[in-house]
Structure 1
Amino acid sequence: MAFKPNLPLLAFLLLSLFFLSTTLALSLATKDPELKQCKQQCRHQERFDKQQRQQCEQKCEEYSREKQQREREEQQGREGHCNREDPQQQCEKCQRQCREQEQGQHDERQCEKRCEERRIEQEREQGRGREGGDNPRWEGSEEEEEQGNTPYVYRDEHFETRIKTQEGKVRILERFSKRSELLRGIENYRVAILEANPNTFVLPHHCDAEGVFFVVKGRGTISMVCQDNSETFNLQRGDILRVRAGTTIYLTNKDNHEKLMIAKLLQHVSSTGRYQEFFGTGGENPESFYRAFSMEVLEAAFNSPREKIERLFGQQTKGAIVKASQEQIRALSRHAQGGGGHFPFGGESKGPFNLLKKRPTDSNRHGQLYEVNTNECKELEELNLAVSFANITRGSMLGPFYCSKATKVAVVVEGTGYFEMACPHMSSGQQGRQEGGGSQRQEGGAHYQKVSARLSPGVVYVVPAGHPVVAVASGDQNLQILCFDINAKDNEKYHLAGKKNIMKKLEKEAQELSFSIPAREVEEILNKQDETFFFPGPHQRQEGGRAYA
């Protein structure tokens, strides 16, 4: 007997499915303001045709669903805190599932990365639970919610893992202009983080970028090979080193227990507008650039037979960061020079100097600031860069202040806390709510939106020139922040509180006209704070506890 479909019922089911999907989409857009804004931007793209707008809106929905899924997983993780298994075991199980799934190498790495991020977050949650139960993840003037779409803050998901082996990894931050035109002025700069396990070797390579390296932790060596000479230097925490574009370098971690971690600011010089490492040594992994040439060319260049060349460039499969024996480490370190020297760069070798051995420019019981600028160092002057390291005592704060010319690229090295910045370029839809619902833009004046974010190790944030900013350490540990200052020549730092507050230099009449209250009241408030640059934080409840780098 032939089957006869029930057409009215089928039509009803199709209509129901359409209605359900539409309702879900509308519900999604209603609950997620970011999704609504994303779709609006898609619809207002004049260069898009109808199909491109639909594809754009679909990507918005996909992103929103992924974000909600992450939020659900985090919530489940918090609710199941007491019953869950060890985060490391969960991570290993998760990564095994990533490898078992049929997917491309890139997708597999992204899947493993999400597992690792989940492990880190779970361990942080467990740590917070042990330390005090209901303490907030960050401390502000009130309970704040950070919006994820600010272009000034970058977290783990904004990094790309370029190199990864069992012995270490290199991560590169996305272009600063990728999410917003507001940072177009620094799009030629990238932040990179190198991590190498104890007793390891980073294979020789060169980059199409000028680099300034800062040793975050660990001990090692770096060898720099130029056309006419080569030099090897010892490295330790606090060392700064310039690496010129095209210089072949290789590194060792000579410590038996501690990882070597280096933060880099890179300014690419290639006409491609992209940053890239080039490995001449290696084989299949890392792939040697020699393998791109024809065998006939290689035979002629090396004056060697094919079989020897194939062996030379066909053996290495362990990746760009490999384990080395202690004998090999000692041999590679045998001719290493100094390292950890006092400021400034010494001699003609252009070796590293140690920023943390320099006298602090600002120091009190609430923190210390170490700085080197373009006037003090020719190597940095050529790049128009400055470097600083702030160590903020737990419960204390740095600033508020602003820079006259430099844009700060800040990398959180250690500790937790939060930062706040006054920004005239963000709308309230882009960065959360303000206290009391915000203020209205006044005719002839600017409206400043508060940009704020939680800080933890690895977070990168950007402070454009002229933008007042403050950083606050949590109550349980010091907050350490490394800053690369771009466009640093003739830059000045303007204090907005404390002894050096520039507002104190206004004449009494200017103060009265500006604040519309008697000058004596202005002076009373401005003179109340007698510290400089580092102050007690909003929630500091105990005295003492000097910070040390």
Structure 2
Amino acid sequence: MASKAKVSLALLLLSLLVLCASLAQAKDPELKICQNQCKRQKQQCERNCDEYIREKKERERQRGEGNGGVERESYDREEEREEQEEEEEEEEAEDNPFLFEDEDFESRVETDEGSVQVLQRFTKRSKLLRGIENYRVAILEADPLTFISPAHFDAELVLFVAKGRATITMVRDEERMSIVCDEDRKSFNLECGDVIRVPMGTPFYMINRDENEKLYVVKILQTISIPGHFEAFNGPGGEDPESFYTAFSREVLQATLKADGFQLDKLFHKQRKGSIMKASKEKIDALRQHKQGSAGIWPFGSFSSAHIYNLFNKQPSKSNQYGSLYEALPNDYKQLQDVDLSVAFANITRDSMVGPIYYSKATKISVIVEGEGYFEMACPHLSSSRSRGQRGGRESSRPRKSSTRYRKVSGALRPGVVFVTPASHPFVVIASRNSDLKVVCFEINAKGNIRYNLAGKGNVMNKLEKEAKELAFNLPAREVESIFNLQDGDLFFQGPKEREEEYGRAFE
């Protein structure tokens, strides 16, 4: 009966609303009286609905108590099941949050002559990588004799030339910096192995000056304005690339440039070739032959050949028959100090490996340039996540044998793949039996970072006291030492004789 009364009341309210609408159209003098009646009926209807909800909740509560809380327990179990499913889905998504492949890159620039591919934000894959959310990785590829259009970035850039030969030109504002100098720009010829920093906001452009070889540049960007986000601002340009000048109103451009509309249309609508374009050999030669930096102070320290650091111009920090490691540390290259970054290049000989090692405070971002292989890493975070998921998000009442459990994180490596090894996570990298594995590495938080070897000469375990070894391993110290002294190599070793089946295809 109560429900029928509510339905009747709703119908009456609807009729009054229709009547009010009709009166409004006819401008009837009784309109105000009708509107007041509608308002009162609406308020009464809302009160009835609120009362109905309260009565329903009370009936459900009483029914649950009468069943001994069975419904409540069922609800709890359902909620627990949903939480477990969410954790399992999250764990599946984070099954290997440290490995990134082709599908994880987005194309920022794509022309017939080249491309710029940018790796997704690290935190998009997993919250475990939020420590490097301010960093992005990008890869530039450009055909021979091409020009990369001028731009500036709202991020700090460090570039590594992995293949090819380039010329980069940076523009500066001498008046702003109160420096007396004849030149407003400096150009540098770059070779394979060169590292160079482009400070945030500095306009620059590049050419691939080689007539035959492609240019391959790996970039690390430290975002500043918006964590994890960066933009390229193109000044010169037209429709492609679009110039940021065109964002201003026509009146502003006419006033600031003292140009008429015809001139502006001609200036900002003719370019349609994209940011990477073919250039004649004559123009490339002219750009590469401009005087390189020799004197002056810009933007910090000497703006000269010291602005470039070539990894291959000095002896490797570690080298043997199984591989070589070249490093540019903040103390070696002043340009890296302000961004707290180091750059390294590892050439792992085929059928060899580097590690196991870990870095005390640096998170390592590695980009595969050539070859194939795989990596393994010990991670406590994913193991902990899985354990919680198996218990439905509740802690087990059984005592645990250890406070930490580890999960092996691994993945196949090939050109273009990026993998991350967080600080203090032990890892190894293994080259296939078919080719050397060449890796470009950026190490974030490099100041004061220490590399700890876990095998071979100078490994950590050999530095423990005798008593500490015996207590930690529950073995006589001589037995522990006999095992950790078997390997007399240093950092690079012969690879495993047996490959895991899951990586078999990577080495065929």
Bin of the TM-score, shorter chain as denominator length: 0.7 to 0.9
Amino acid at match of 2:374: Y
Counterpart check, 1:375 vs 2:331: yes
Q: Aligned with 1:489: secondary structure?
A: coil
Task: Output the CA distance in 2 between the equivalents of 1:180 and 1:273.
Answer: 13
Question: Of 188, 192, 200, which residue of structure 1 is paired with 2:138?
Answer: 192
Q: Specify the alignment match of 1:535 in structure 2.
A: 493
Aligned length: 392
Counterpart check, 1:153 vs 2:108: no
Preserved contact between residue 475 and residue 540 of structure 1 (Cα < 8 Å): no
Preserved contact between residue 441 and residue 447 of structure 1 (Cα < 8 Å): no
Preserved contact between residue 475 and residue 539 of structure 1 (Cα < 8 Å): no
Q: Specify the alignment match of 2:272 in structure 1.
A: 317
Task: Output the CA distance in 1 between the equivalents of 2:224 and 2:133.
Answer: 12
Counterpart check, 1:227 vs 2:194: no
Question: Of 354, 357, 372, which residue of structure 1 is paired with 2:310?
Answer: 354
Summarize the Cα distance change of 1:482–1:442 in structure 2 as closer, same or farther, 3 Å threshold: farther
Preserved contact between residue 268 and residue 275 of structure 1 (Cα < 8 Å): yes
Amino acid at match of 1:530: D
Q: Specify the alignment match of 1:464 in structure 2.
A: 422
Q: Specify the alignment match of 2:16 in structure 1.
A: none
Q: Specify the alignment match of 1:289 in structure 2.
A: 244
Counterpart check, 1:218 vs 2:164: yes
Q: Specify the alignment match of 2:225 in structure 1.
A: 270
Task: Output the CA distance in 2 between the equivalents of 1:256 and 1:244.
Answer: 29
Task: Output the CA distance in 2 between the equivalents of 1:504 and 1:479.
Answer: 29
Task: Output the CA distance in 1 between the equivalents of 2:226 and 2:425.
Answer: 31
Amino acid at match of 2:481: E
Amino acid at match of 2:466: K
1:247-299: per-residue Cα shift (whole Å, max 9, x none)? Answer: 11111011111110100000112147521111111101111111111110000
After the TM superposition, which residues 42-81 of structure 1 pair with which residues of structure 2 at under 5 Å, given as runs? none
Q: Aligned with 1:514: secondary structure?
A: helix
Amino acid at match of 1:287: E
Task: Output the CA distance in 2 between the equivalents of 1:215 and 1:367.
Answer: 20
Q: Specify the alignment match of 2:207 in structure 1.
A: 252
Task: Output the CA distance in 2 between the equivalents of 1:274 and 1:42.
Answer: 33
Summarize the Cα distance change of 1:157–1:428 in structure 2 as closer, same or farther, 3 Å threshold: farther
Report the more deviating stretch, 346-355 or 238-247: 346-355
Question: Of 411, 416, 433, which residue of structure 2 is paired with 1:453?
Answer: 411
Task: Output the CA distance in 1 between the equivalents of 2:250 and 2:455.
Answer: 67
Root-mean-square deviation (CA, aligned residues, Å) is: 2.6
Task: Output the CA distance in 2 between the equivalents of 1:187 and 1:515.
Answer: 38
Summarize the Cα distance change of 1:398–1:227 in structure 2 as closer, same or farther, 3 Å threshold: same
Q: Specify the alignment match of 1:306 in structure 2.
A: 261
What is the aligned-residue identity percentage? 53
Task: Output the CA distance in 2 between the equivalents of 1:242 and 1:160.
Answer: 23
Preserved contact between residue 365 and residue 421 of structure 2 (Cα < 8 Å): yes
Preserved contact between residue 395 and residue 540 of structure 1 (Cα < 8 Å): no
Counterpart check, 1:180 vs 2:126: yes
Counterpart check, 1:388 vs 2:344: yes
Task: Output the CA distance in 1 between the equivalents of 2:488 and 2:399.
Answer: 33
- C-alpha displacement of 1:443: 3.6
- C-alpha displacement of 1:43: 6.7
Question: Of 261, 272, 297, which residue of structure 1 is paired with 2:216?
Answer: 261
Task: Output the CA distance in 2 between the equivalents of 1:441 and 1:379.
Answer: 52
Amino acid at match of 1:407: T
**Could you say which structure has the larger radius of gyration?**
2
Preserved contact between residue 384 and residue 405 of structure 2 (Cα < 8 Å): no
- C-alpha displacement of 1:347: 4.0
Question: Of 271, 286, 289, which residue of structure 2 is paired with 1:334?
Answer: 289
- C-alpha displacement of 1:336: 4.8
Q: Specify the alignment match of 1:504 in structure 2.
A: 462
Task: Output the CA distance in 1 between the equivalents of 2:126 and 2:381.
Answer: 11
Preserved contact between residue 462 and residue 481 of structure 2 (Cα < 8 Å): yes
Q: Aligned with 2:382: secondary structure?
A: coil
Question: Of 356, 366, 374, which residue of structure 2 is paired with 1:410?
Answer: 366
Amino acid at match of 2:316: P
1:29-78: per-residue Cα shift (whole Å, max 9, x none)? Answer: xxxxxxxxxx9569759xxxxxxxxxxx9xx9xxx9xxxxxxxxxxxxxx
Summarize the Cα distance change of 1:454–1:246 in structure 2 as closer, same or farther, 3 Å threshold: same
1:411-433: per-residue Cα shift (whole Å, max 9, x none)? Answer: 111110000000000138879xx
Preserved contact between residue 233 and residue 338 of structure 1 (Cα < 8 Å): yes
Task: Output the CA distance in 2 between the equivalents of 1:530 and 1:243.
Answer: 42
Report the more deviating stretch, 345-354 or 306-315: 345-354
Summarize the Cα distance change of 1:530–1:273 in structure 2 as closer, same or farther, 3 Å threshold: closer
Task: Output the CA distance in 2 between the equivalents of 1:273 and 1:410.
Answer: 18
Task: Output the CA distance in 2 between the equivalents of 1:410 and 1:497.
Answer: 21
Task: Output the CA distance in 2 between the equivalents of 1:336 and 1:362.
Answer: 36
Task: Output the CA distance in 1 between the equivalents of 2:328 and 2:158.
Answer: 13
Amino acid at match of 1:473: A
Task: Output the CA distance in 2 between the equivalents of 1:272 and 1:518.
Answer: 51
Task: Output the CA distance in 2 between the equivalents of 1:217 and 1:389.
Answer: 13
Summarize the Cα distance change of 1:286–1:487 in structure 2 as closer, same or farther, 3 Å threshold: same
After the TM superposition, which residues 202-217 of structure 1 pair with which residues of structure 2 at under 5 Å, given as runs? 202-217=148-163
Summarize the Cα distance change of 1:259–1:42 in structure 2 as closer, same or farther, 3 Å threshold: farther
Q: Specify the alignment match of 2:67 in structure 1.
A: none
Task: Output the CA distance in 1 between the equivalents of 2:94 and 2:227.
Answer: 30
Q: TM-score, normalised by structure 2?
A: 0.73
- C-alpha displacement of 1:161: 0.3
Higher relative contact order, structure no. (Cα contacts within 8 Å, ≥ 6 residues apart): 2
Q: Aligned with 2:434: secondary structure?
A: coil
Preserved contact between residue 307 and residue 335 of structure 2 (Cα < 8 Å): no
Preserved contact between residue 404 and residue 493 of structure 1 (Cα < 8 Å): yes
